[in-house]
């Protein structure tokens, strides 16, 4: 199965044009399945049945895997066996009837506008790192892009003169505008701080770490956590929190749902609708607290 997984990942990369993060996620899920099947002695097409794959799902549940992790694994397994069935002409796809567990939809955590202002004000001074951090935070909140997209940005992707960036993911590309605060922060970073971080090296990536290499997700997460603590923000914050806040604040201020969907890169508008529902809950809470005849 090891070779088949490698072939599948190559197929995703070369034919489907998937992102690196997607490929890593698929491979991680399938390697776990491979271990389970190997340990159980299930290795041939005839041995890997729908019953065996269902037993793996039950195994994940017994091991207390999160419902979201199980659902993602099932999606990976389905895609993998669909590929195998089509490529090798299997008579039956054993993963076809796998059912994902129901996931309770939780409203994403967002910051208030005041909290965002506090967070964005934290990078201080004129060090190269501080100027870089300010630019990254401003651009992340200004555009709502994913942290993986932020750290993958290249200089050519950002048009400072017109105030927009081009974000690519697989076969999809979207253009997202940003305002003067993000523009000024990125300009200041480009004027000197980036060169200090780069040193005598070469890189097309926009944001660099202190070694002159492209930033990592983990590196940025640590940066964000540090500033959230210094800003006194109590809730648990992740890079996605700024993305959620971007969408919720746009809708709160009258942006239309379709435009926000385009900027967020959601293929299904129901994903964007979540932020509209958050506003409805907020309005209801305000009403119940304030209306004299509630």
Q: What is the pLDDT of residues 45-96, one digit of tens each?
A: 888 999 999 999 999 989 888 888 888 999 999 999 999 999 888 888 999 8
Look up the pTM and report it: 0.61
Residue 44: name the closest of 92, 1, 76, 75 by CA: 1
CA-to-CA distance for 178 and 139, rounded, in angstroms?
7
Residue 272: name the closest of 285, 262, 281, 282 by CA: 262
What lies within 8 Å, CB to CB, of 246 at 6+ separation is 140, 141, 142, 143, 144
Q: Which CATH class is domain 2-88?
A: mainly alpha
Determine whether 129 is exposed, middle or buried from the number of CB atoms within 10 Å of its CB (0-12, 13-18, 19+). middle
3-state secondary structure of 159: strand
Q: Which fold has domain 113-288?
A: hpI Integrase; Chain A (1.10.443)
- pLDDT tens by residue, 151-208: 999 999 999 999 999 987 655 788 999 999 999 999 999 999 999 999 989 999 999 9
pLDDT category at 103 given cuts 50, 70, 90 is low
Residue 286 confidence (pLDDT) above 50? no
Please list the residue range(s) of the chain that carry CATH number 1.10.443.10. 113-288
What are the two backbone dihedrals, phi and then psi, of residue 164, each rounded to the nearest 5 degrees?
A: -150, 160
Please list the residue range(s) of the chain that carry CATH number 1.10.150.130. 2-88
Residue 287 confidence (pLDDT) above 50? no
What lies within 8 Å, CB to CB, of 53 at 6+ separation is 77, 81, 94, 95, 98
CA-to-CA distance for 87 and 252, rounded, in angstroms?
48
């Amino acid at each position: 199965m090891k070779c088949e997984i490698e072939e599948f990942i190559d197929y995703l990369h070369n034919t489907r044009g998937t992102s690196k993060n997607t490929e890593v996620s698929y491979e991680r899920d399938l390697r776990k399945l491979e271990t389970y099947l190997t340990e159980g002695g299930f290795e041939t097409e005839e041995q890997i049945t729908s019953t065996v794959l269902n037993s793996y799902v039950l195994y994940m549940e017994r091991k207390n895997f999160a419902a979201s992790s199980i659902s993602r694994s099932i999606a990976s397994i389905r895609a993998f066996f669909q590929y195998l069935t089509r490529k090798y002409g299997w008579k039956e796809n054993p993963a076809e009837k796998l059912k994902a567990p129901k996931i309770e939809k939780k409203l994403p955590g967002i910051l208030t506008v005041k909290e965002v202002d506090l967070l964005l004000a934290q990078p201080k001074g004129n060090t190269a790192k501080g100027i870089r951090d300010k630019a990254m935070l401003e651009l992340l909140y200004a555009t709502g892009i994913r942290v993986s997209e932020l750290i993958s940005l290249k200089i050519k992707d950002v048009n400072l003169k017109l105030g927009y960036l081009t974000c690519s993911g697989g076969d999809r590309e979207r253009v997202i505008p940003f305002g003067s605060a993000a523009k000024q922060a990125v300009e200041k970073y480009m004027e000197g701080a980036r060169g200090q971080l780069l040193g005598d090296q070469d890189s097309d990536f926009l944001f660099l770490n202190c070694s002159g290499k492209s930033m990592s997700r983990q590196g940025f997460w640590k940066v964000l956590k540090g500033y959230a603590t210094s800003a006194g923000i109590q809730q648990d914050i992740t890079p996605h929190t700024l993305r959620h806040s971007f969408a919720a604040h746009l809708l709160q201020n009258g942006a239309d749902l379709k435009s926000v969907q385009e900027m967020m890169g959601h293929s299904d508008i129901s994903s964007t609708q979540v932020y509209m529902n958050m506003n409805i809950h907020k309005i209801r809470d305000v009403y119940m607290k304030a209306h004299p005849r509630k």
